[in-house]
Each structure stands twice: as C-alpha cells, then as structure tokens.
Amino acid sequence: MQQEPYTISKGTQLEGFCMDLLSELAKKVGFKYRVQLVKDGAYGRQDDNGNWNGMIGEVMRGEADLAIAPLTLTAAREKVVGMTKPFMQTGISILLRKDISEETGFFDFLTPFTAETWVGILIAYLGTAACIFVVARLSPCEWSQPQSEHNRFSLLHSLWYTAGALTLQGAGPHPKALSGRVICCSWWLFTVILLACYFSNLGSSKSSESTHLMVKGFEDLANQDIIKYGCLSGSSTLAFFKNSNNPLYRRIYEHMERSKSFVSSMDEGVRRAKEGNFAFIGESVSLDLAVARHCELVRAHEVIGMRGYSIAAALGSPIIKNLSVSILQLNEAGELTYLQSKWWASSCIADKAKSSAVQPHSLKGMFLVLALGLGLGTLLAVLELTSKSRRSAAEQKKSCCTVLAGELNLRLRTSNANRTQENVDKDKEKA
C-alpha cells in the first residue's frame, strides 16, 4: 500500500521504509520476493459478516504471502493471521496547527511585523528625524538669521516631532519651509500606511486567537466544542476509542461518531489540520512524519494506547518465527533506528512556513516613498540655501561658492547653537 514514507512509487520501482526493511529481512531469512500493492487500498478491517478486506483479507485468502506496511498489531488481527514482533513502536496522539497548540506570549503585540521590519521602521524613524534636523538648519526659510535666531528644530525636538507623528499625536511647531514640509508629508504618509498595516494584521491575529484554544492532550480536546477532531475511518485508532472503557475516550468516540468527522485518508487528515480548526487523531509515528514535512503543524506531547507495527503472514506460517528473530536482530544492531531517521528526516524549512507577520518586502514601496521624500526635501533645502547664497553673493560682490561655504559653516557648526542660545538668553535678560 502506497503511503509516505513506508512505500513510495518512484517510476516503475517502489521505495521507502518498508521496502528497505523487506530487503534487509530477505537477506537475513533468505527468501526472494515480488511486491504488489493491495487491491482495495486498505490495511484490513472486519465487516459485519466477519469478512476481512485490505491486506489482512488478501493474506487470509492466500493472495499474498506477507503483508508489510504500518499494520498495527491488534488482538482481532492476531486471531486471523500470524503477526511478527513489532518493527516500530507507535501510539495515538493529536496533530494540530501550531497556532492552536502554542501559548500566547508577552510580546505578541510585536507579531504583526517581523524583526527585520521593526529594524527597518527604527532606521526610518531615526533617518527622518535626522533629515528634519539637518533641513531645518540648512533652509533659510526655516532659519533665516542663524547669528541671532534660535533654531526651533534641535535634534531632541526633531526626534520628538517624528515620534509624535508616528503615534498620530502631533508635536509642534511645524516646519515653515517647503523642504521641511515635504519631509513631514512623506513621514505622515509612511505613518498612516504603517499603522493601517499594523492594526489590520494585529486585529486579524487576535480575532483568530479568540477561536483557538490551548490543546495539550485528549482531555483538553474533549472539554471543548470549538475545534473539530476526527481520525481515520475504519482504523485501529477508531477501534481503540470505540472499544475503550475509559469515559474520556468514550466521549471522544461519541463526539466523532455524532459529528461524522472521520477522514478517508492520512493525507486528508493532514490537509484539514493545516487548514486550521481541526485536530487529527492518529498514530504518533505517522503524525511525526507530517510534522517533519509541514512546518505549520505540531504533534501534542501526550501519547496513549502504545502499540506496534508488525508484518502479517498466513496463520501458522513458519516464516513468522524467522522474521521476528530477524526484526529483533535489526533492532539490536541499530538498523531500524537508522532506517527511521533516514525516511523521517525533516524537510521543513522555517522560512517557508506560513507566517502572519508582515514581511519587509511587502512594505518596500512604503519605504521607497519615504526615502524619495527625504531625498527630495534635503535637495530642496540645499537649493533654498544655494538660492539665498547667490543673492547674497551678488549683493556683496563675492563668489557664490565662498558665500555658500560660509553659510554651511555657520549653520552646521555645533558651537554656533550654543552661542545662539546664549544670545537669546541675554536678550531675554535685557528685556
């Protein structure tokens, strides 16, 4: 029966864990074999008339000598066919999507954006504040008399002004120059789009969390009615819950029977678990494979009903003893552990997992608009200062470059700010 990773079709050949195990057993016991897939695609289940289908039925009817698959060793099967020592131990567990099983953290308010996006926002904030500070000093429309006038946009005020706009609170005074206003408008546009994305993503994540419960085990699953759950139809897992005398397990079976939440295949169960709001109950080994293949899924820690996978042969067949001894030898030699690690290797890449956080590339247009606005504002400030320097150079009959260099030196000197503030303080004292 084809099921990853036990038996996989590759062209005209079959490969997988069971094929490798069969090859090793054939070497040890000394037999040749020909593999055929089960006709009805079932493991083996007894109907109301006492007839068996699937692999068990084919072995009973002599259509196959051996059945090698993840066949669970049960009392009902042991009565009608011979079964070897288990080659793999498993149990019953729960497969969930991670956002159903994980606890909420203290810093979940940061989840709407990725870490890279938050770093980009911080850089944008500091860059905008720095541009406002520089433009306010360069533009003669903003600071016309640097010798006697106090510049309203100090570095601290620029940071405060930018933070106020980011929180939609505002912080005056506002720039008077065109260059400063261009930068501020760019930052306001950036802020509006950023906050819209943040609250939209935060709202959707919180609304989804309101329907998600903490499910750590079967008791949590049975004590809620929001998340649907089910198992494979006609499987030994279903039989375990159906025949159990444990009140908790009986409740789970009755709920599944009442809601008809059974799935027809393992792939369907995994698919429904990935879609969310569904917990798939199955054998832990198979669930571990699903977790290794799909990053958004996780298996609950609780495992119940430990059982094993065995190889089936005709009742009373002498090969059963030899196969059981060979399985024990392979287990003691570590071969079974090696085969399991080979076929259960995780192909999950975390970066490909679905994430609700906004990625930096989805906001690149917003950052680009801001960068263009900052560049345009700074360019306008330089042009404003250049225009004033040309007029002053014409009046003073000096070189434009000389006047421009003098203006830049006067406006960008850090000591000038201190002298200006001292002059303002002295003027106030005289007044």
180 neighbors 154 (Cβ within 8 angstroms): no
Q: What does each C-alpha distance from 83 to 69, 72, 216, 316 come to in angstroms?
A: 12, 10, 34, 10
Nearest Cα residue to 217 out of 100, 308, 297: 100
Instruction: Find all residues with CB under 8 Å of 121, minimum gap 6, and list them.
Output: 113, 194
117 is in an annotated binding site: no
Backbone angles phi, psi at 97, to 5 degrees: -80, 150
Tokens linked to 315: 């009742």
283 is in an annotated binding site: yes
Backbone angles phi, psi at 175, to 5 degrees: -60, 145
12 is in an annotated binding site: no
55 neighbors 43 (Cβ within 8 angstroms): yes
What is the CB neighbour count within 10 angstroms for residue 136? 26
407 neighbors 205 (Cβ within 8 angstroms): no
Q: Strand 88-97 and strand 278-283: pairing?
A: antiparallel
Tokens linked to 240: 């375990």
Q: What does each C-alpha distance from 355 to 114, 258, 396 come to in angstroms?
A: 9, 34, 64
Nearest Cα residue to 417 out of 158, 228, 148: 148
Q: Is 9 helix (H, G, I), strand (E, B) or coil?
A: strand
Q: Is 308 helix (H, G, I), strand (E, B) or coil?
A: strand
One-letter-per-residue 3-state SS of 163-232: HHHHCCCCCCCCCCCHHHHHHHHHHHHHHHHHHHHHHHHHHHHHHHHCCCCCCCCHHHHHCCCCCEEEEE
**Vertex 410 angle, CA 406 and 412, to 5°:** 115
| Backbone angle region of 277, left / alpha / beta, with phi > 0 → left and psi within -120 to 50 → alpha | left
261 is in an annotated binding site: no
Which residues are registered as beta bridge partners of 92?
283, 304
Q: Strand 8-10 and strand 88-97: pairing?
A: unpaired
237 is in an annotated binding site: yes
List, as own/partner pairs, every contact residues 52-60 make where C-beta atoms lie below 8 angstroms and the sequence separation is at least 24, other chains included: 52/80, 54/1, 55/1, 55/312, 56/80, 56/81, 56/312, 59/312, 59/313, 59/314, 60/314, 60/315
Residues at the binding site are 70, 72, 77, 236-237, 283
**Annotated binding site for L-glutamate: which residue ranges?**
70, 72, 77, 236-237, 283
